[in-house]
A and B are shown apart, each in its own frame.
Chain A
């Protein structure tokens, strides 16, 4: 049996009716639009790279924009921000289209009305552009302190957030929050790193930097709406940035109290506090005086480490006739420094018993035993230590002691001969002499070193590096010790050692 004309006509009418009823452009005549806001407002908005207007700006969707629209916000003096927002197709309309054999899609597929943005507003906070010519500062950051007593932290959608909520995870684990602070400092003039005070490595980093930062979070106010498990709104964080001196860890150099409001858009609720703290850290850098204050604190710390100026009498150095006698004579000015835990080397820089050595030789001892080449031993008092540069000064009683002459390390040529005298490995090997050449000048972690292939072994530390003229050009300090590595030793230049102990010789 063939279909009747009436049947086909009815079919066509039904299809036409459904076709027109299902068109997205008829069902959904409003275009998808989103409001682009910035703090501060008046920023230029670029959509997919093309400038379109100033914030607050209402962006209407046009299909040519593609499904992912890049919104860039720029303002003079501020760092640009870029966010991507997705335009989604109306699944319900497409489903209806498919059920109607896809025929309405011919119209809907080209219609802007089929698409809408997932959000009604895009809110971005802009941060001031940071000057690039500022001197870099090393900043150890101690774990963040949570000074929020308790109570409500705000809301995410209809949920109330407090310290026990999973969104406040970072506040329970200070290391996580500290990582947010460090992220906030990234790309700036601050070289921030997390440290644990009370550990050897942490204390060393703090010592070197001269100060450290302990962030304190005093309050958090979250006000966001939630859509598709993502939060949009604002996070306000009250921070107290406490800069402590490295010399006395409980002393406070200065504090910065700050409240930062950060606009969030499409952020996971679990990252709200992270993002808020990161934004607060970023905002701290906008303080124009911070760099200057930290550099001043570093200078003060450096000065404190050097101690007060010490004027020493210019010594009468050991005399010798020609190079043949030189080393045999100079060993008299080199001593073995015995501590509770071992021994090292040192050398006399005055005739009245001032001895230069490494800080790591004397460690934390105030009194050491100094054994001379001539066979006698005297008690030595550690009078100055600069751990930053690993140099120390010991004073022993006595007069007319054999002192070495201070040379000019700046005039040392590459390849020039260098001698080391010291007590390697065992005290029985006292005043051993080794020879090498000047291999180069190095900067390691901000400290100057003379590189040499002269043999430096445990016990040699603190001994003199002597040039071809019999004058001290450096303090043997360390060597690189690894399988397959030989002949890479380092000494502190004598000029630096004297400078860092603030020693002057009378004219």
Chain B
């Protein structure tokens, strides 16, 4: 499965390289902030992301690009690592500190209405998004005042890989040598759903990856 996924990514990279041959302008963009709706129960605006990207503008109204995004500031929850999460099993009740992390690599194409690589555009994106939750045990209460961890481990984690696919609208303004881009995207995360822990009895409280995903952000780029 992983080999298959890599083959997919390799295809995208090859396409990007092929397009770059006929690109008329290039640029590197920095993205901040970027907000993404990834999880069902967590607001997109509680996780502030940054990113970096590479843009190709063809002689025509089409532009291509790849970008990497990752949330760096998590405003979710009140624990030292984020949210606290509770589980119960076999009479034990455990409380974990939850730490969510993710990264996304997107390949995107845009069609500029004004035909000169600036102004409003509409396009599409396809990418891969990796999500991971790390749980650090905070507190366990056993039945009949048993002071042990029971079935709960000190460290637990779950991972997932989804493929966001959708459309992106935006407006790009160009000045000599630099540009900025304000965008909104809407799509679907292929392969979404509930994540799984190694201890499957914890799964019912695992984070849910949303099907519909949306995001918005602002990018500042330098072109040549």
Contacts and interface: CB of A to CB of B under 8 A. Distances in A.
Nearest to B110: A98
B19 A99 contact: no
A101 B18 CA distance: 13
Contacts of A106: 15, 18-19
Contacts of A89: 60-61, 115
Given A1-B194, A91-B61, A110-B22, A102 B160 contact: no
B161 interface: yes
A7 interface: yes
A4 B160 CA distance: 13
B162 A99 contact: no
A7 B33 CA distance: 32
Interface stretch (B93-101, B118-126, B175-183): B118-126
Nearest to A10: B190
Contacts of B58: 105, 109
Contacts of B59: 67
Contact of A97 (B1, B18, B107, B111): B111
B191 A3 contact: yes
B194 A98 contact: no
Contact of B111 (A11, A94, A103, A110): A94
B190 A11 contact: yes
B185 interface: no
A5 B4 contact: yes
A360 to B, nearest CB: 62
A466 B124 CA distance: 94
A109 B18 CA distance: 11
B152 interface: no
B123 A99 contact: yes
Contact of A1 (B62, B160, B163, B167): B160
Contacts of A99: 109, 111, 122-124, 167
Interface string A1-29: 11111011001100000000000000000
Contacts of B125: 101
A500 B161 CA distance: 104
Interface in B42-87: 58-62, 64
Contacts of A98: 62, 109-111, 122-124
Contacts of B123: 98-99, 102
Contacts of B110: 98
Interface in B131-176: 160-163, 165, 167
Contacts of B8: 8, 12
Nearest to B126: A101
B193 interface: yes
B190 A103 contact: no
Interface string A61-103: 0000001000000000000000000000101001101111111
A2 B61 contact: no
A436 B127 CA distance: 95
Contacts of B167: 99
B191 A109 contact: no
Contacts of A95: 111, 122
A1 B191 contact: yes
B28 interface: no
A440 B108 CA distance: 79
Contacts of B193: 1
B198 to A, nearest CB: 15
Contacts of A12: 8
A94 B1 contact: no
A99 B165 CA distance: 11
B187 to A, nearest CB: 12
Contacts of A94: 60-62, 111
B195 interface: yes
B163 A3 contact: yes
A109 B124 contact: no
Contact of B190 (A5, A7, A97, A110): A7
A109 B63 CA distance: 12
A99 B19 CA distance: 15
Interface string A139-160: 0000000000000000000000
A88 to B, nearest CB: 9
A97 B161 contact: no
Given A3-B191, A89-B61, A94-B60, A101 B107 contact: yes
Contacts of A103: 15, 109
Interface string B20-41: 0010000000000000000000
Nearest to B2: A2
A145 B193 CA distance: 83
Contacts of B61: 89, 91, 94
Nearest to B196: A1
Contacts of A11: 163, 165, 190
Nearest 5 A/B pairs, CB to CB: A102-B109, A3-B191, A98-B111, A1-B193, A98-B109
9 contacts: A2-B160, A3-B1, A67-B59, A91-B115, A94-B62, A98-B123, A102-B123, A105-B58, A109-B60
Interface of B: 1, 4-5, 8, 15, 18-19, 22, 58-62, 64, 107-111, 115, 122-126, 160-163, 165, 167, 190-196
Given A97-B109, A102-B62, 15 more contacts: A1-B195, A2-B160, A3-B1, A7-B190, A8-B8, A67-B59, A89-B115, A94-B60, A97-B62, A98-B109, A98-B123, A99-B111, A101-B125, A103-B15, A105-B109
